[in-house]
Structure 1
Amino acid sequence: MTSRSTPSPGSSGPSSPSGPPAPPGPLRRLTARGRDERHRASTPLELFFDLCFVVAVAQAGVQLVGALAEGHVGEGILNYAMVFFAIWWAWMNFTWFASAYDNDDVLYRVVTLVQIAGVLVLAAGVSRAFDQHEFLLVWLGYAIMRVAMASQWLRVAKDARGQERACALRYAIGILVCQVGWLGLVLLPQSARSWVFLVMVLAELCVPLLSERGFATSWHPRHIAERYGLFTIIVLGESVAAATVAVKSGVDQNEAVGDLLPLAAGGLLIVFAAWWIYFAVPIHGHLRSNRESFLWGYGHYLIFASAAAIGGGLEVAVEQAVHEAPISKLAASAAVTLPTALYLLAVWALHARHFKAGITQQLVLPTAALLMICCTFLGHWAVLAAGCVAALTVAAGETLTARRAGRGRAAKATAPAI
Structure 2
Amino acid sequence: MTSEAALPDPHRTGTGPLRRMTARSRDEAHRTATPLELFFDLCFVVAVAQAGGQLALNLAEGHLAHGISGYAFAFFGIWWAWMNFSWFASAYDVDDVAYRVTTLVQITGVLILAAGVPRVFADNDLTLAVVGYVVMRLAMVTQWLRAAAAETGGARTMAYRYAAGITVCQAGWVLALQLPHDVLPYVLPLGILAELSLPALAERHTQSAWHPHHIAERYGLFTLIVLGETVSAATVAMQTALDEHEAVGELLPIAGGGLLICFAAWWIYFARPVHDHLASNRQAFLWGYGHYLVLGSAAAIGAGLEVAVEHAVGKSHVSAAAATAAVTVPTALYLVTVWALHARYSKTGASQWVLPVAAVATLACTAAGQSGVLLAGLVSAAAIAVGVVLHARQSPV
User: Normalization by structure 2: what TM-score?
Assistant: 0.97
* 1:189 aligned residue: 180
* 1:15 aligned residue: 8
**What displacement does 1:357 show?**
1.0
Letter in 1 for 2:48: V
Are 2:373 and 1:383 equivalent residues in the alignment? yes
Are 2:102 and 1:107 equivalent residues in the alignment? no
* Range 96-105 or range 180-189, more displaced: 180-189
Matches within 5 A, 1:18-417: 25-358=16-349, 360-405=350-395, 408-409=396-397
CA deviations on 1:37-94 (whole Å, 9 max, x unpaired) are 1111100000000000000000001111111111100011000000000000000000
User: Normalization by structure 1: what TM-score?
Assistant: 0.92
**What displacement does 1:95 show?**
0.2
* 1:415 aligned residue: none
Letter in 2 for 1:393: A
CA distance in 2: counterparts of 1:23 and 1:368, whole angstroms: 52
Higher relative contact order (CA 8 A, sep 6+): 2
**What displacement does 1:303 show?**
0.2
CA distance in 1: counterparts of 2:309 and 2:86, whole angstroms: 35
Q: How many residues align?
A: 393
CA deviations on 1:348-387 (whole Å, 9 max, x unpaired) are 11111111112x1111111000000000010221000000
**What displacement does 1:22 show?**
5.8
**What displacement does 1:185 show?**
4.2
CA deviations on 1:165-192 (whole Å, 9 max, x unpaired) are 0000000001010111223542212222
Which aligned segments of 4 or more residues in structure 1 are displaced greater than 2 angstroms? 14-17, 21-25
Letter in 1 for 2:8: S
- 1:47 counterpart SS class: helix
**What displacement does 1:248 show?**
0.5
CA distance in 1: counterparts of 2:178 and 2:54, whole angstroms: 23
CA distance in 1: counterparts of 2:157 and 2:14, whole angstroms: 31
CA distance in 2: counterparts of 1:395 and 1:149, whole angstroms: 44
Quote the sequence identity (%): 61
- 2:208 counterpart SS class: coil
Letter in 2 for 1:36: D
Contact 1:184 1:193 in 2 (8 A): no
Letter in 2 for 1:15: P
Superposed CA RMSD: 1.5
Letter in 2 for 1:189: P
Contiguous gaps of at least 5 residues in structure 2 = none
CA distance in 1: counterparts of 2:292 and 2:103, whole angstroms: 22
